[in-house]
Amino acid sequence: MAKLSISRAWDDSKAAMRRDGRLIGSVALALILFPQAVFATIAPPPELSGVETPGWAPLVMLIVALVGLAGQIAIARLAIGPAASVGEAIGHGVRRAPVVFAAVLMFGLALIVLMIPLALVLIGPERLKALSEGSRDPAVVRAILPILLAIIAIAVRFQLTVPVAAMEAAGPIRMLRRSWDLTRGHYWRLLGFLLLVLATALIIQLASQIVGGVVGRLLFGNLDPFSAGALLVALIAAAAQTALSILVTLMLAHIYVQSANPPHGDVSVPSSGT
């Protein structure tokens, strides 16, 4: 089994951006940045706007997530090849996104089944009920940490679901199994990569909200829904999150290339330019 190289995936990702940055940027702008910015403008975070999140927000968030998923698949398709136009990559992403969503849903349901007994043991039925009612008991929060760690530990093996969807005609179950097989023998490197991604995402989320909130209030005075201030904050946050999404998708695409190809010889990633 070939040794997985995160640094090689990083070098390949930089090469992909130099080669096909315009195509990748166009996909990300249309399917990741724009939907996120629109949603955050009409429903800004309550801690910034002071307005309660509307009841329809979760449904719109789901739609935005599905569109973003199509964008990630399209970016992986462009990065790995064969050559495709932006329209072809987006079309491929849109067709494969429901399959990935089904796989994610199956994975989530399986996690729930596994984590409920663990939650009952660590938290207890009474505290679990209090948590569902909005309680912030520190003991409950501490008990949740092992559950989160368990989820992360399992999720490591399913990181390659998106590139598998981009490059292979697999259904949801086959997709999950394929990701599991491809990550075999690379667990600790992929765990480190996932932890780095999660930490970076958290920092970006907090920093973009703080910076955007300060600048938005200084320039426009309020961050109400549909306001110019809300739009500015939304653009700052969406731009930061989109940049991270592009980077992570490219990295996973090239990790997939290393894992899916034979260990002998260098893998040549085809150009996805037009």
Q: Hey, what are 183's tokens?
A: 């990550």
Per-residue model confidence as pLDDT tens digits over 14-64: 999 999 999 999 999 999 999 999 999 999 888 777 788 888 999 999 999
pTM over 0.85: yes
**Residue 271 pLDDT class (50, 70, 90 cuts):** very low
Three-state SS string over 193-259 comes to HHHHHHHHHHHHHHHHHHHHHHHHHHHHCCCCCCCHHHHHHHHHHHHHHHHHHHHHHHHHHHHHHHH
Burial class of residue 263 (count of CB atoms within 10 Å of its CB; 0-12, 13-18, 19+): exposed
Least-confidence region, from 67-71, 97-101, 143-147:
143-147
Contacts (Cβ under 8 Å, ≥6 apart) of 41 = 225, 226, 230, 231, 234
Rounded mean pLDDT, 84-90: 93
Residue 268 has pLDDT above 60, yes or no: no
Distance CA 214, CA 220 (A): 10
Residue 2 has pLDDT above 70, yes or no: no
Residue 174 CA: distances (Å) to CA of 103, 168, 178: 9, 10, 6
Q: Hey, what are 14's tokens?
A: 């930089």
Distance CA 181, CA 263 (A): 15
**Range from 49-53, 109-113, 141-145, 191-195 that averages highest in pLDDT:** 191-195
Helices (H), 156-186: 161-167, 172-182
Q: What's the one-letter identity of residue 261?
A: N
Q: How many CA atoms lie within 13 A of 207 on its CB side?
A: 9
Per-residue model confidence as pLDDT tens digits over 211-266: 888 888 888 878 888 989 889 999 999 999 999 999 999 999 999 999 987 444 44
Per-residue model confidence as pLDDT tens digits over 123-162: 777 766 666 666 666 767 777 788 899 999 999 999 999 9
Give the alpha-carbon dihedral of 104, 259, 187, 174, to 10 degrees.
30
What pLDDT sits at residue 50? Answer: 77
Choose among 231, 230, 224, 205: nearest CA to 52: 224
Q: Hey, what are 205's tokens?
A: 């989320």
Choose among 55, 267, 76: nearest CA to 160: 76
**Residue 272 pLDDT class (50, 70, 90 cuts):** very low
Give the chain's largest Cα–Cα span. Answer: 60
